[in-house]
Amino acid sequence: MYAPALLATWCSMLLAPVLGAVTWTATPFNPASVPLAVRTPYVSAWLPQGAGTALNAAWPTLWTGSILGWAGYVKVDGTTYNWLGAPTVSDASKATQKSLTFTSTQSVFVLTAGPVDLTITFLSPVETSDLVNQSLPFSYYAVSAAANDGKSHSVQIYTDISAEWVTGDNSLTANWTTTTGNIITHQVQLASQGSFSEINDHIQQGSAYHATLNTQGATWQTGEDAVVRAQFINNGKLANTADTNFRAVSDRWPVFALAHDLGTVTSATAPTVFVIGHVRDPAVQYITANNGRQNRSYFFWTRFSTVASAISTFINDYSNALARAKAFDAKVKADASKISSDYADIVALSIRQTLGACEITVSKTSSGAFNTSDVTTFMKEISSDGNTNTVDVIFPAWPLFLYTNPVIGKQLLLPLFEYQATGQYPNKWAVHDIGAHYPQAIGHNDGKDEAMQVEESGNMLIMTLSYVQKTGDIALLKQFFSLLDQWAQFLIEDSLIPAEQLSTDDFAGTLANQTNLAIKGIIGIKAMSQIASLVGDTTRANNYSSIAASYQTQWQNFALSSDKTHLTLAYGNSASWGLSYNLYADKLLKTNVFPQSIFDLQTNWYSSHANAFGVPLDTRHTYTKSDWEIWTAALVTSTSVRDTLISSVRKYAADGKSSQPLGDWYETTDGSVEGFRARPVVGGHLALLALQ
């Protein structure tokens, strides 16, 4: 599925704005794209960078690169400066970006607007310990102003969004309303919606929200972009009027604007908080027994009965949310810095991206009440094909869930288990995904999903056992024991001599006898042995354990190069090799299937086979995958080889050659990006944290 992605890359390069250079302080570095509001596949706003693009030098975009109208102005002593987006209304100059800092939850910009500095904090909460909080599809941004000359200044701030937030086709008609009270909230949606359907990766269902506290000096307006922005530039406030001429998104571009008069400013003001988000209900369509359909809603509805009450609680909680975010950022940074500061930098850029592909849902009972015993998480396979809960995309990201909250991991696996337990999936191996098009999770009853037989069967067993090891919760094993055993039996058939098939790295094509796939299969069999042991099936546990041990011994004869200096990519091809990242699972699960000598051998091989931007994925190409690079860093037995792998990924992520949200697939010779972007697999960058 990578040809369309490559085409998209090529097109966006042609359309990209002229990129500047980084003229500001970037901490820890200037990434390819800065996460602004990244909480769900549809609340996913980024600032594309290339060699450096200030907050007011381009429009924010969806992860795809399509523009999300989002503009900001500030008036200082009557002079207007633009600080967000690239609007072209006259009589405003550009503020100057001084700095950009990102952490695991925040991107913070400082821009100078004449005698005043603005600090803009984009906070996408990561609240994995409270699943209601995590399921809220909202993000904060907050603006604080301070004089930079020690004097007092009159300051007003302004922001707006366009209706590009609700569709991938700007010729469609939107409508909107504004409610005022303690909070001013703009709500905008398509006049004609499509349930569970996307255009150009934008959802065509639900509403975007833009809100702020209705404190003294707050004003609002809806209307044509040029008109509303000029109103602020000329008057320093908005007219509190609604444009009810509902029209196409691109017809005299309606915008949904908010403004605050901060009055006279000297030292830093308390932050003025805005909320941006997108809610749809139902959120996901899910397959039940007998090809039934179930609607699933965001889990936040179990605590909030209206969107307005959710927004109210969310916006009023900003200072606490910021404190929680800072504590989370500090913990992640401290844990990751035990490895290296380069490692901490990569992790900080990866967390929002992974969780921003996920949505936590709940079903309703026949009486319409929420069934809080039925909470599942869905993940969009962003950018590569848009599948729902792709097993080999959850798998690389798995370390993030182990580190933050393994229950979210279980919730991602549950729909896959439940669906296959209904017996509708005809193949004996584990399914690739639970739906071809997010946010539909309607299975593959024809069995024609993208087959990755050993890959997905091994992944399910490994993830399930690691969840149980982290939590002690064996209910999943009892409930789905026969499925797990079915997959293990498939691995017993097909993992010592794997038939020609795809691995997760499908862009490289099929291959028979893949050494790394066999590793996964053998660890999968051993995992099933431990699963059997946990439910008291000692006979099966002993049988599978001895099969795994025997396969491992035989595998060494097939898998080593003839001079025994490295593992091959495929049996019998001594000139071939690759990243044997599946050995990571043996360390993660502490299964000790493979001897230390294999880990040492691979470590030694990689020490002399790195290009400028890391070790290639395998000998078929010079590209690599950042997730597998870091998984490999977590399994090598030398600190210097580990650090080379980590620093290569850090160097690529900071090299200024891309404008896409962090792409996991890149070229090791020159650090250029291949066709993927914004994929949740970067959760795999937490592989070393999951071992701590």
Ligand X SMILES: *[C@@H]1O[C@H](CO)[C@@H](O)[C@H](O)[C@H]1NC(C)=O
- Given a contact cutoff of 8 angstroms between Cβ atoms, the answer to whether 181 and 212 are in contact is no
- Given a contact cutoff of 8 angstroms between Cβ atoms, the answer to whether 387 and 381 are in contact is yes
254 binds ligand X (CB under 6 A): no
d(CA 188, CA 255): 10
Pick 510 or 640: Cβ nearer ligand X? 510
- Given a contact cutoff of 8 angstroms between Cβ atoms, the answer to whether 454 and 504 are in contact is no
Shortest separation between residue 572's beta carbon and ligand X, angstroms = 6
- Given a contact cutoff of 8 angstroms between Cβ atoms, the answer to whether 40 and 278 are in contact is yes
129 binds ligand X (CB under 6 A): yes
556 binds ligand X (CB under 6 A): no
Shortest separation between residue 432's beta carbon and ligand X, angstroms = 22
Question: What residue type is 52 in one-letter code?
Answer: G
- Single out the segment in contact with ligand X by CB under 6 A; choices: 123-131, 147-155, 639-647, 683-691: 123-131
Shortest separation between residue 256's beta carbon and ligand X, angstroms = 13
Pick 234 or 365: Cβ nearer ligand X? 365
Share of the chain residues as helix, strand and coil, in percent rounded to the nearest 5: 35, 25, 35
| CA dihedral sign, ordered 589, 592, 593, 599 | positive
Pick 99 or 193: Cβ nearer ligand X? 193
- Single out the segment in contact with ligand X by CB under 6 A; choices: 21-29, 110-118, 126-134, 619-627: 126-134
- Single out the segment in contact with ligand X by CB under 6 A; choices: 128-136, 451-459, 528-536, 658-666: 128-136
Q: Are strands 93-94 and 79-84 parallel, antiparallel or unpaired?
A: parallel
Shortest separation between residue 188's beta carbon and ligand X, angstroms = 9
**Which alpha helices (H) appear in 560-617, and where do they start and end?**
583-588, 596-607
- For residue 236, CA distances in Å to 185, 220, 229, 491 come to 20, 11, 10, 68
Nearest residue to the partner ligand X, using Cβ: 374
683 CB contacts (<8 Å, ≥6 apart)?
350, 351, 354, 396, 397, 398, 399, 400, 401, 627
279 binds ligand X (CB under 6 A): no
Pick 204 or 504: Cβ nearer ligand X? 204
Shortest separation between residue 133's beta carbon and ligand X, angstroms = 4
What is the pattern of x (binds ligand X, CB under 6 A) and - over residues 29-68? Answer: ----------------------------------------
580 binds ligand X (CB under 6 A): no
Interface residue with ligand X among 175, 288, 479, 561 (CB under 6 A) is 175
Question: Residues in contact with ligand X, total (CB under 6 A)?
Answer: 29
390 binds ligand X (CB under 6 A): no
The enclosing H or E element of 589 equals: none
Q: Of the candidates 422, 356, 316, which has an alpha carbon nearest to the alpha carbon of residue 107?
A: 356
513 binds ligand X (CB under 6 A): yes
For residue 17, give the DSSP letter.
P
Interface residue with ligand X among 216, 306, 373, 482 (CB under 6 A) is 373
d(CA 405, CA 399): 10
Strand-pairing partners, residue 279, are 207
571 binds ligand X (CB under 6 A): yes
d(CA 432, CA 480): 17
Pick 96 or 313: Cβ nearer ligand X? 313
Omega cis (within 30) before 439: yes
3 CB contacts (<8 Å, ≥6 apart)?
none
Pick 172 or 678: Cβ nearer ligand X? 172
Shortest separation between residue 498's beta carbon and ligand X, angstroms = 8
Pick 347 or 414: Cβ nearer ligand X? 414
d(CA 468, CA 218): 51
- Given a contact cutoff of 8 angstroms between Cβ atoms, the answer to whether 206 and 165 are in contact is no
Report the alpha-carbon angle 481-486-488, nearest 5: 95
SS3 54: coil
d(CA 560, CA 504): 22
133 CB contacts (<8 Å, ≥6 apart)?
125, 127
Q: Of the candidates 65, 95, 69, which has an alpha carbon nearest to the alpha carbon of residue 80?
A: 95
Interface residue with ligand X among 152, 295, 611, 672 (CB under 6 A) is 295
Interface residue with ligand X among 25, 180, 309, 371 (CB under 6 A) is 371
324 binds ligand X (CB under 6 A): yes
Interface residue with ligand X among 374, 450, 537, 643 (CB under 6 A) is 374
- Given a contact cutoff of 8 angstroms between Cβ atoms, the answer to whether 230 and 111 are in contact is no
Shortest separation between residue 86's beta carbon and ligand X, angstroms = 29
Q: Of the candidates 106, 183, 99, which has an alpha carbon nearest to the alpha carbon of residue 139?
A: 106
- Single out the segment in contact with ligand X by CB under 6 A; choices: 47-55, 159-167, 265-273, 366-374: 366-374
Interface residue with ligand X among 199, 323, 512, 612 (CB under 6 A) is 512
Pick 2 or 558: Cβ nearer ligand X? 558
282 binds ligand X (CB under 6 A): yes
Residue 171: CB atoms within 10 A of its CB come to 9
Interface residue with ligand X among 251, 261, 317, 450 (CB under 6 A) is 317
- Given a contact cutoff of 8 angstroms between Cβ atoms, the answer to whether 259 and 220 are in contact is yes
Interface residue with ligand X among 313, 469, 479, 611 (CB under 6 A) is 313
What is the pattern of x (binds ligand X, CB under 6 A) and - over residues 623-662? Answer: ----------------------------------------
- Given a contact cutoff of 8 angstroms between Cβ atoms, the answer to whether 302 and 372 are in contact is yes
Pick 573 or 604: Cβ nearer ligand X? 573
Interface residue with ligand X among 177, 266, 422, 556 (CB under 6 A) is 177
Interface residue with ligand X among 117, 127, 201, 342 (CB under 6 A) is 127
Interface residue with ligand X among 250, 337, 543, 611 (CB under 6 A) is 543
Residues 446-475 that bind ligand X (CB under 6 A): none
Shortest separation between residue 259's beta carbon and ligand X, angstroms = 23
Shortest separation between residue 293's beta carbon and ligand X, angstroms = 7
For residue 18, give the DSSP letter.
P
Shortest separation between residue 225's beta carbon and ligand X, angstroms = 20
d(CA 671, CA 360): 35
Query: Phi first, then psi: what are they for 347, rounded to 5°?
Result: -60, -40
Query: Phi first, then psi: what are they for 325, rounded to 5°?
Result: -65, -40
Shortest separation between residue 497's beta carbon and ligand X, angstroms = 5
Question: What residue type is 600 in one-letter code?
Answer: D
d(CA 57, CA 515): 48
Query: Phi first, then psi: what are they for 162, rounded to 5°?
Result: -100, 180
Residues 470-499 that bind ligand X (CB under 6 A): 489, 492, 497
Pick 125 or 236: Cβ nearer ligand X? 125
Strand-pairing partners, residue 97, are 111
Shortest separation between residue 173's beta carbon and ligand X, angstroms = 9
- Single out the segment in contact with ligand X by CB under 6 A; choices: 54-62, 371-379, 600-608, 613-621: 371-379
What is the pattern of x (binds ligand X, CB under 6 A) and - over residues 183-212? Answer: ------xxx-x-x-----------------
Q: Of the candidates 116, 174, 529, 136, which has an alpha carbon nearest to the alpha carbon of residue 318?
A: 136
Interface residue with ligand X among 82, 133, 212, 388 (CB under 6 A) is 133
Sites of contact with ligand X (CB under 6 A): 127, 129-130, 133, 175, 177, 189-191, 193, 195, 282, 295, 313, 317, 324, 365, 371, 373-374, 489, 492, 497, 512-513, 543, 558, 571-572
